[in-house]
Chain A
């Protein structure tokens, strides 16, 4: 009668999230044309990826769309040796894998993405990288499979 019991509840769910006009245009262009769009704040001139209605810093609405390249520069990096569950698939990610904060050419913010390079001796801040696209695009950041070092 003194046993402490833990109850287990498994759960499988689907969610859907509205993206709004700005994000919808961004992911449609990404999916249909393989192009990355940023958006510029009329006040601070910062170019944001992903595009959104307002610049939170200036609290101004944004409407100036700009083309951003699929090349960029590593701003921070790591190599993972510890598997975590992928929050989209729920499956463990294979290890090791490289990851970087990348500032795409033409943008002022960075994106978080995978690197094909996992040799730490070959990674450093400031390296140029290029996106490697998947053959099928769906309008997610994962349409880019990973980035490869080009310099």
Chain B
């Protein structure tokens, strides 16, 4: 039986196009110290460090050696997780395991990326060298191919995707850490932005951001004494599949990994109707269309009904289930941090520290990570231990 675990602190840097005021280790340090302050802990309280980073993006090997010290890793257990877009959420789950197992009581998870330093799109195309790489086209292209299937199979429209972008970039204006904040953005502006790969337009895609995010886990005993309103971890599930791009049929429609991860997480958390039982969700949507695909895979709606959720404002702030009050990945995407940010923002909502982006009365929050072509992480946090 795993021990009960809570998140008792979070720390984020400002996300932006280029953070050349700090090197990577200093960026990690900034997020870590903010999380320590938030949890009212000292670096000596940390038992272990888990890092999330996609080092190929910056072309810098062994980031755990270079940056571990920034997270307080001196003479402590330091591990690194790298699973593409899920790097951060997988690191968050790995950190949970370390406390839930009883091995450590206090663990910090720090995810970061400095996309300004490297070649993200080319690194993303540096997939399988034997076969896929010769025809790889990075994140935009892979999404565009699958989006043609989503539109044909689920009737999703360009206008519905544009509404996702508008929601995200307006929400981001209430998040002081967000990279892209566009208070006046309109559906028309999204639909007239530059076409990258049909039907994906510039404003449909996430940015490449620099930034870091940290969360601190505590065992039940430590969480009770250290934190007034901890965010208890009710469920974690991670699912991976398939080595080649073409192995996965109708990826965005079927999304076996996310459906399986969600089903398992809902089972652990005792959730039968996600739209009713969840109060807020922070999901990993690198492109506007993906958010609509995840609505269905996460069980927020029935088959083919995702477009209605956005049309009817159900996932807006003030709707039945606000999705991404932070602005999400569409507004800030330092990849190694992005999954940690989802978990941190879900925890912030539980802890009531969301300030202008706070959803009132959050008791149950979902955080989701997406990586490579189909990998999925789901975590559910709660204000109640029970």
Contacts and interface: CB of A to CB of B under 8 A. Distances in A.
Interface string B173-202: 000000000000000000000111111100
A80 B196 contact: yes
Given A4-B20, A78-B198, A114-B135, A100 B145 contact: yes
23 contacts: A4-B20, A19-B130, A75-B249, A76-B146, A78-B144, A78-B145, A78-B147, A80-B141, A80-B197, A81-B198, A82-B195, A84-B137, A87-B136, A90-B122, A99-B137, A99-B141, A110-B246, A112-B136, A112-B137, A112-B246, A120-B198, A125-B152, A141-B131
B79 interface: no
B145 A76 contact: yes
Of the four ranges (under 10, 10 to 19, 20 to 34, 35 or more), the interface on chain A belongs to 35 or more
A56 B195 contact: no
A52 interface: yes
Nearest to A80: B197
A49 B129 contact: no
B133 A84 contact: no
A101 interface: yes
A65 interface: no
A102 B134 CA distance: 15
A79 B125 CA distance: 17
Interface of A: 4, 6, 11, 15, 17, 19, 23, 48-50, 52, 56-57, 75-82, 84-88, 90, 99-101, 109-114, 120, 125, 140-142
A31 B141 CA distance: 27
Contacts of B137: 80, 84, 99, 112
Q: Which 5 A-B pairs have the closest CB atoms?
A: A78-B144, A110-B246, A87-B125, A82-B196, A76-B145
B312 to A, nearest CB: 28
Contacts of B194: 81-82
B197 A79 contact: yes
Nearest to A77: B148
A8 to B, nearest CB: 10
Nearest to B243: A56
Interface string B245-266: 1110110000000000000000
Contacts of A15: 129
Given A78-B141, A84-B121, 8 more contacts: A56-B241, A56-B242, A77-B145, A78-B198, A78-B200, A109-B247, A112-B135, A125-B152
A111 B246 contact: yes
A85 B113 CA distance: 21
Contacts of B299: none
Contacts of B250: 75
A148 B133 CA distance: 21
B27 to A, nearest CB: 14
Given A11-B59, A141-B135, A17 B246 contact: no
Contacts of A77: 145, 148
B103 to A, nearest CB: 29
Contacts of A101: 145-146, 149, 246
A140 B148 contact: no
